[in-house]
Amino acid sequence: MSLVTAAIALCLIVSVGDGDSLSARCGAEPVQRVRIAAIDAPELRQAYGAKARAHLARLCLRQQARVTAQGHDKYGRLLAQVSCRGRDAADEQVVAGLAWVHPSQAGTHPALARAAVRARQTKVGLWAQKRPLAPWTYRQRHPHPTYR
């Protein structure tokens, strides 16, 4: 079942790009790049970037995932809510302190925003740093063509 035409699909996660993006094969359709909605994980060159990717890979890589399409981003990636092993990938990344809730999404995802506050208060993951740098700020300071 194509994610272009279906809102929800069961897919196989074939690769993990970073802490908030992966590639999924849904049925006989070509592999699609998927951006996990509502979160933004550190870039791979940032502190905790590799840890965020590894955490997402442990949860989702080579697993069947429920992918709920929510649109596309400016790079053409599918924006989606992704569940692997029955767990929401965005929630898992935020609770582990390995992703921010994107400021534009906090109001529409209040439970996720509360989880982010708890992670920050308990200094888990990237919140253990003295001054964690948000990935959107990092991308502004370090423009690079691969940040898509």
Q: Is the dihedral of CA 90, 95, 100, 105 positive or negative?
A: positive
121 in Cβ contact with 113 (< 8 Å): no
Which residues, 6 or more positions from 78, have their beta carbon under 8 angstroms from its beta carbon? 3, 32, 33, 34, 35, 67, 69, 71, 72
Q: Which residues are catalytic?
A: 35, 43, 77
